Structure 1
Amino acid sequence: MRTTDARGEAASTAQTIASVVGGRTLEDAPGGRTESVNPAHKDETVAEVLLGDAGTFVQACRAAREAQGDWAAVPAPIRAQVVKKIGRIVESNKEALARLVTREIGKPYTEALGEVQEIIDTCDFFTGEGRRLYGQTVPSEMPDKQLFTFRVPVGVAAIITAGNFPVAVPSWYLIPALTCGNAVVWKPAEYSPAVGDALAKLFQAGGLPDGVLNVVQCEGPAAFEGLENALDEGLVDKVGFTGSSAVGGKIGELCGRHLQSPCLELGGKNPLVVMPDADLDLAVEGALFSGFGTAGQRCTSLGTAIVHESVHDEFLSRLTERIEGAKVGDPTDDAVLYGPMLSERFMDRFVDSLGMIEAHHTAHGSTGTGRITNDNPRENFVGDPEAGFFCHPTLVSGVKKGDDLFNTETFGPLVGVASFSSFEEAVDLSNAHGYGLSAAIYTRDATNALRFREGNRAGMLSVNNSTSGAEAHLPFGGNGKSGNGSRLSGIWVIDQFTRWQSMNWDYAGRLQKAQMDVADLPADLDFTLPE
């Protein structure tokens, strides 16, 4: 059938994609067949997908195991040159990849361009890290002996990622894992298979040997079963997962049975505190972007704005006005605040979450709630609401500690507002939901900012900025229900994809036993205290 791409230009018949294992595209579909559709134009098929099953996942892990040793033997600076080439190839295809992101998950095109830039930035960073996988030379307590430490690859990494950031987040795993000498089995989200396939092909074009990067297109339960079987068979040495806290807990339990610590990047209920001295216009701008960018479908999206009672009403009024005036709809229009939900499944889940709005809450900011349709319209909508999976932005005031809406990640365009009277109360509210991914505070007082940093338990904090946003050289990750303390990005992610190995080299010509044969101190050293 004929379709249109993200900019409305004529596109060819929907492509057929499948898993890639050991450098070979598989032609069977043991997991069945499915279609990926454009969430802004639900009648448009982006790709037809041949799905793998648990056996496909295990097969990919075996291929990775076979390829990993030769890849690890390539000097790290040379592996980094492959990463450098991948970055340049992605840069040359930036607009095309961003258009595909917009087409398959409905992310506004300008945001999609920024997401692709994250891949390029990560490649640039790890091009240098290939020359900096440093170990140490350590002094020994014995004579004629030297001690050393080395970073070595973990082996085979199994990576499972969500589709709200279908290229940026995978790059945070894939690029450092490959730079460090690991082979990878990657399962993209089932609702962004075409983007996953395109990204993998760009990586392969950089010169990766067959089997070093394997892509399994399958449903989530099949991937979990396959991962369990691969771990039982001893084929996987590290698991990376980005997704919900509930699934992350199951993966953590599975890895724990094999004495492995996974890299878990999970959900958030991220607070934004507004102090009485805040620049309110700036705080409103930050809340609008934090809460409604990408239709609230970020792990770092704003969950609850925690606003001092002296400025609560003014903040609520200004934010309501901004939401009412914001354009929503066609993601190819540069003026829209956000486009559709990622898929019909995410739309249905979000609409169900609106049931958490209680009698003591008040909804603001839109002409309706739930799905935007001709019968439930929104002013300032761009395009045809019936064509895709669009939802009203909703602002809910009167939220209190203990409310389901306060404690639950809604993953959609919904922001709660709570009030506080003291700084201590604000800090308590900012932690009370049990997540710990990101948090923000708006204040002109450095003391407030520093004390908030001390009191809040999130892994990432912002002062006078949004709860969202990441840079390639800064650690990304959370605590509590948001993760197990592991970090992506920067030099910190290297700890996820390498293990420390120590070596002692004794050239004394005789057996020296540490702690038993420690050399005596010189006799003339006096350790007595002066009188």
Structure 2
Amino acid sequence: MTQLKNHPLSPVVDLPIIPLHISGSSQPIAPDTNLVPLTPPLSTTPIHHYVSATPDTAKLACDAASSTFPRWKATAPAYRREILLSVVKLLEKRADEICASQTKETGCGEQFSKVNLKGGVEGVKEIAAATAEIRGVVSQKGSVEGDADGKEKAGLTVVVKEAIGVVLVIAPWNGAVILPLRALSQAIAAGCTIVFKASELCPATHGLLVDCFEEAGLPAGVINVIQSRRSDAAAVVEAIVSHRAVRKVDFIGSAAVGRQIGQVCAKYLKPILMELGCKGPAIVLDDADLEKAAKFCALGAVANHGQLCFSTERIIIHKDVYEKFIAILSAIMQRLPPPAVGNAVSKDSATHAFDVLKDAETRGAKFIVGGPEYVSELSLKPTIIEGVTREMRIFDEETFGPSVSVYRVESDEEAVEIANDSKYGLNAAVHSRSWEHAYTIASQLEYGQVHINHMTLMDSPGQPIQGIKGSGWGQSNSIWGINEFLVEKTVMFHSSQGGFPFGP
């Protein structure tokens, strides 16, 4: 996905332009093209411009994906696997370039970008391996109606798995590498073609990922890339979802936007795979390793400035260890270096996190560490909040900031009750020295993933990941993610000796 440099239509001629990328080529830039400057969080000047798609250009991307689909669908899973494994090699080869781009565009820390890339690479490897599991079945035949001996019917029934069609992938900026790599690889492994709506906050980073796919041998038109400014996004997304060739949507992002896209999908009867937000709880039981639990909880709360759907937003602590745990957690939070916390992706994001804390303060919450305080224009202090009540915004609203609410509970039952008292259900954690104790609690939690003695910021590429309740639906990773983009077709071979089932 080549960046266009020194283009005469660029408002700042010496800045590159991120174009739309359709059928393997950068699209021409017309005089009326919408060019939008991207100023990253740690800069005061633009680093490049991107072309903002219109409904018409979005439809061109759909047409390209549609025309490529029959050929790509016909490829063997083993062929797709080889391409994905080649993508892995290119991602590793271009790791420094990709990480630098993510850090520059989103303001995340260097360490976070490296972890993000590593997780993405492992995910692509696992999806590539899982292509071997794409297989149909030969069904058992039913018995002959009215036959006393229960003889099988003549003929044969085969169930085959086929790619669902063109897929719209919408990936966010906060996991700018791992999340689009997973989404793109799953659909590609299934034999689908894609319209990829890259994030307007990191279009160059997303473009580098697509470069790796195409350099690995992915045919032109399998991935078609657009991006749009937020004011255009609703119209662009509806234009894509309404296109007759588009058969499914994969959206990763906020619950608020997911709800809007879900309504559009319902309007056009298109299924959607969604991974949304969470108010991730970590439960610290009375037999937990407090030092280890505190470290995991602190990192889970502040990583990437708390701007992750897997972030630890709540810590629920048994009364018998509450005071000791809080002392350990407070010491860790107070000595966290700024690079470990990172920055907000924008002033609006930092302001939102500040406002949620300010609302809690106004309504009587207490701050054990930090509070509604800025370290810089884009960074807040790591914060521990006590005394959260239901009328506060922070009770069940994602802060997307480096803060965590703590709750003292009398019993395991109360811990489970508080953890489940949320509209979300993506990730949770339980800390205990007893696996049996931890599993007893985990089995009662209404979350798609529960991590024992680790942080909520975890994802195993060989296991399914899914949200329940308000955190979305559908599964990602490995064969579970591939299956989201496959349909099962029943093919019935009827015996030529059979008669008509009814009629004269």
Task: Give the TM-score of the pair, scaled to structure 2.
Answer: 0.90
- Counterpart of 1:177 in 2: which secondary structure? helix
Equivalent of 2:276 in 263, 266, 285: 266
Tell me whether 1:418 sits opposite 2:407 in the alignment: yes
Given that 1:125 and 1:473 are in contact with CA atoms closer than 8 Å, whether structure 2 keeps it comes out as yes
Mapping for residues 60-209 of structure 1, pairs under 5 Å: 60-141=61-142, 142-209=152-219
Query: Which segment is superposed worse, 111-120 or 417-426?
Result: 111-120
SS in 2 for 1:237: strand
Match of 2:328 in 1: 318
Residue 458 of structure 2: aligned partner: 469
Residues 199 and 44 (structure 1 numbering): CA distance in 2 closer, same or farther, change over 3 Å? farther
Kindly state the Cα deviation for residue 155 of structure 1 after the two structures are TM-superposed: 0.5
Among candidates 492, 498, 504, match of residue 504 of structure 1: 492
The one-letter amino acid paired with 1:133 is I
Partner secondary structure for residue 419 of structure 2: helix
Q: Give the distance between the partners of 2:334 and 2:243, measured in 1 at CA.
A: 55
Counterpart selection for 2:340 from 333, 337, 342: 337
Counterpart of 2:229?
219
Shift of 1:505: 1.7
- 1:512 Cα deviation from its structure 2 partner: 5.3
Task: Output the CA distance in 2 between the equivalents of 1:401 and 1:31.
Answer: 48
CA deviation after TM superposition for structure 1 residue 88, in Å: 1.0
8 Å CA contact 1:107–1:338 kept in 2: the answer is no
- Report the TM-score when normalising by structure 1: 0.86
Amino acid of the structure 2 residue aligned with 1:138: S
Give the CA deviation at 1:145: 1.5
Specify the alignment match of 2:477 in structure 1: 489
Give 3-state SS (helix, strand or coil) of 2:173's partner: coil
Aligned partner of residue 372 in structure 1, secondary structure: strand
Q: Which amino acid aligns with 2:40?
A: N
Distance 1:473 1:15 in 2: 38
> Structure 2 vs 1, CA of residues 222 and 98 (structure 1 numbering), >3 Å: closer, same or farther?
same
2-structure distance, mates of 1:370, 1:25: 44
CA deviation profile, 1:320-372 (whole Å, cap 9, x unmatched)? 111111111xxxxxxx3121111223222222222331343111323x63332
Residue in 2 that maps onto 1:440: 429
State the 1:129 CA deviation.
2.6
Cα distance change, pair 147–44 in 1 and its aligned pair in 2 (3 A) = same
- Secondary structure of the structure 2 residue equivalent to 1:474: coil
* Displacement of 1:285: 0.4
Amino acid at match of 1:42: S
- CA deviation after TM superposition for structure 1 residue 446, in Å: 3.2
Please give the alpha-carbon distance, in whole angstroms, between the structure 1 residues aligned to 2:500 and 2:366: 73
Number of residues of Structure 1 aligned to a counterpart in Structure 2: 479
**Structure 1 pair 258–511 and aligned structure 2 pair: CA distance change class (3 A):** farther
CA contact (8 A) 1:19 1:50 kept: yes
Structure 1 partner of 2:148: none
How far apart are the structure 1 equivalents of 2:499 and 2:294? 67
Question: Given the alignment of the two structures, is residue 360 of structure 1 paired with residue 349 of structure 2, yes or no?
Answer: no
Which residue of structure 1 aligns with residue 34 of structure 2?
32
1-side partners of 2:45 and 2:342: how far apart?
Answer: 16
Alpha-carbon distance between aligned partners in 2 of 1:462 and 1:234, rounded to the nearest angstrom:
41
Please report how far the alpha carbon of residue 233 of structure 1 lies from its aligned counterpart in structure 2 after TM superposition.
Answer: 3.5
* Paired AA for residue 223 in structure 1: A
Is the 1:370–1:391 Cα contact (8 Å) retained in structure 2? yes
1:191-219 per-residue CA deviation (whole Å, 9 max, x = no partner) reads 11111111111211111212110110212
Of 247, 257, 261, the residue aligned with 1:251 is: 261
Code of the aligned partner of 2:308: R
**Cα distance in 2 for residues equivalent to 1:151 and 1:254:** 27
Find the aligned partners of 1:198 and 1:166 in 2 and give their Cα distance. Answer: 11
Kept after mapping to 2: 8 A contact 1:58/1:227: no
2:3 matched residue in structure 1: none
Residue segments in structure 2 that go unaligned for 5+ positions in a row: 1-13, 143-151
Residue in 2 that maps onto 1:331: none
Alpha-carbon distance, 1:37 to partner: 2.8
Shift of 1:462: 0.8
Task: Tell whether the 8 Å contact from 2:40 to 2:47 is kept in structure 1 after alignment.
Answer: yes
Change (3 A) 1:513 1:499: farther
1:309 to 319, 325, 328: 319
Tell me the secondary structure at the aligned position of residue 404 of structure 2: strand
Measure the CA separation in 2 of the matches of 1:480 and 1:513: 48
Are the aligned partners of 1:191 and 1:343 in contact in 2 as well (CA < 8 Å)? no
Cα distance in structure 1, aligned partners of 2:428 and 2:120? 24
RMSD of the TM alignment (CA)? 2.0
Structure 2 distance, partners of 1:85, 1:257, is 39
**Secondary structure of the structure 2 residue equivalent to 1:38:** coil
Corresponding residue for 1:480?
469
Q: Which amino acid aligns with 1:286?
A: F
- Which runs of 5 or more residues in structure 1 are unaligned? 1-12, 329-335, 374-387, 517-531
For residues 126 and 359 of structure 2, the distance between their equivalents in structure 1, rounded to whole angstroms, comes to 43
2:423·2:470 contact (CA, 8 Å) conserved in 1? Answer: yes
